[in-house]
């Protein structure tokens, strides 16, 4: 098989799977709403179960639900039949996944759920299957064809099921009014957690580490302050300590190119007025956005009275893992 043939086959798979997802849009109806309501009003956890490839998809669905505000865990149906059903409580809801709707291990869970009055949401490709007939809400994840040319390997069907799980999770997220701050609580580790949790005040240079000169300071004092604080800039403040502007390395280079004798000028004359600022309680990720938008490497941190309380530099953000 040559490279061109590989491209043809790859594109065919993507087209089939995209069509499978698109076809579900028109089929989404009150059964989806019913499933969302069952999960929304659930006082326990969402228990997701499926065998084989459906089980792998189920694990991802359980993870997505849990990280977006719906307590959830994955139950292997075979393990459930051999003791792990003790993990399921009377206030839980079962999401059972089986493309055929006849997977033996999944179907055998149903009598237990009925005895415990545990609602069942089915994700299946067959609406007349045993699973569908014994469920409280049935989500149709049927596909016209699998992407596998032999129609054997679960491909389009698992993709459709995964997408349906995402649809459930996000519908629930919206219904719960789940906010960015809530999301952060479930993702404290890694760069995602840092972006959602770290505030400017935790990374900024403050106190004596802030490069700062008065508007009346000389150009020489400006250079000394920039050199000693090693941030490539200095804030310029008025007599009341309010931000009047900043002077950066770039500003000094441009002044030199224009032939300005900055050694004889005051900091107030050299300063760039109205620099970009941020507040101490803003997310550090917001600082990154402002820097990227305006192609700058530092921000002055000010309070409500425009008093300088800190400086945050791109290097601080890089070290923290935000960037």
Q: Domains plus CATH for the chain?
A: 3-178 (3.40.50.10490), 200-320 (3.10.580.10)
Tokens coding 217: 């300071």
> How far is the C-alpha of 135 from the C-alpha of 133, rounded, in Å?
6
**pLDDT tens per residue, the chain (323 residues)?**
567 888 998 999 999 999 999 999 999 999 999 999 999 999 999 999 999 999 999 999 999 999 888 999 999 999 999 989 999 999 999 999 999 999 999 999 999 999 999 999 999 999 999 999 999 999 999 999 998 888 778 899 999 999 999 999 999 999 988 776 666 666 555 555 566 678 899 999 999 999 999 999 998 899 999 999 999 999 999 999 899 999 998 888 888 888 877 777 899 988 999 999 999 999 888 999 999 999 999 999 999 999 999 999 999 888 877 76
Residue 7 CB partners (closer than 8 Å, separation 6+): none
In 3D, which of 317, 269, 17 has the Cα closest to residue 162?
17
User: How far is CA 70 from each of CA 29, 169, 171, rounded to the nearest angstrom?
Assistant: 22, 8, 11
Q: What pLDDT is recorded for position 258?
A: 83
Q: What pLDDT is recorded for position 225?
A: 94
Burial (CB count within 10 angstroms: exposed 0-12, middle 13-18, buried 19+), residue 217: buried
Q: What pLDDT is recorded for position 196?
A: 64
Model confidence, pTM? 0.66
E strand intervals along the chain? 46-50, 72-74, 93-97, 120-124, 137-140, 212-214, 233-237, 243-248, 277-278, 298-302, 308-313
- Classified as helix, coil or strand, 223 is helix
Query: Inter-axis angle of helices 156-176 and 52-67, to 10 degrees?
Result: 20
Q: What pLDDT is recorded for position 255?
A: 81
Largest CA distance in the chain: 89
Q: What pLDDT is recorded for position 190?
A: 56
> How far is the C-alpha of 213 from the C-alpha of 237, rounded, in Å?
6
């Amino acid at each position: 098989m040559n490279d061109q043939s590989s491209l043809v086959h790859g594109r065919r798979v993507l087209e089939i799977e995209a069509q499978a997802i698109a076809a579900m849009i028109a089929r989404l109806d009150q059964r989806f709403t019913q499933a969302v309501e069952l999960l929304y009003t659930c006082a326990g956890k969402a228990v997701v179960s499926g065998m084989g490839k459906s089980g792998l998809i189920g694990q991802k669905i359980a993870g997505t639900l849990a990280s977006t505000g719906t307590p959830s865990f994955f139950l292997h149906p075979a393990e459930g039949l051999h003791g792990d059903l003790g993990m399921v409580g009377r206030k839980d809801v079962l999401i059972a996944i089986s493309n055929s709707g006849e997977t033996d291990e999944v179907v055998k869970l149903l009598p237990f759920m009925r005895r415990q009055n545990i609602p069942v949401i089915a994700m299946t490709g067959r609406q007349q299957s045993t699973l569908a007939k014994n469920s409280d809400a049935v989500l149709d994840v049927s596909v016209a064809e699998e992407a596998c040319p032999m129609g054997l390997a679960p491909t389009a069907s698992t993709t459709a099921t995964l997408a349906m799980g995402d649809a459930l999770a996000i519908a629930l997220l919206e219904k719960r009014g789940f906010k960015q701050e809530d999301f952060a609580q479930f993702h404290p580790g890694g760069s995602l957690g840092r972006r959602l949790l770290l505030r400017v005040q935790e990374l900024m240079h403050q106190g004596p580490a802030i490069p700062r000169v008065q508007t009346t300071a000389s150009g020489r004092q400006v250079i000394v302050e920039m050199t000693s604080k090693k941030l490539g800039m200095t804030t310029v403040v008025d007599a009341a300590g309010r931000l009047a502007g900043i002077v950066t390395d770039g500003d000094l280079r441009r002044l030199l190119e224009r032939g300005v004798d900055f050694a004889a000028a005051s900091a107030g004359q050299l300063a760039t007025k109205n620099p970009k600022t941020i507040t101490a309680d803003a997310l550090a990720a917001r600082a990154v956005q402002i820097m990227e938008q305006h192609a700058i490497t530092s921000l002055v941190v000010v309070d409500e009275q425009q008093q300088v309380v800190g400086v945050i530099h791109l290097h601080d953000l890089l070290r923290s893992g935000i960037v």
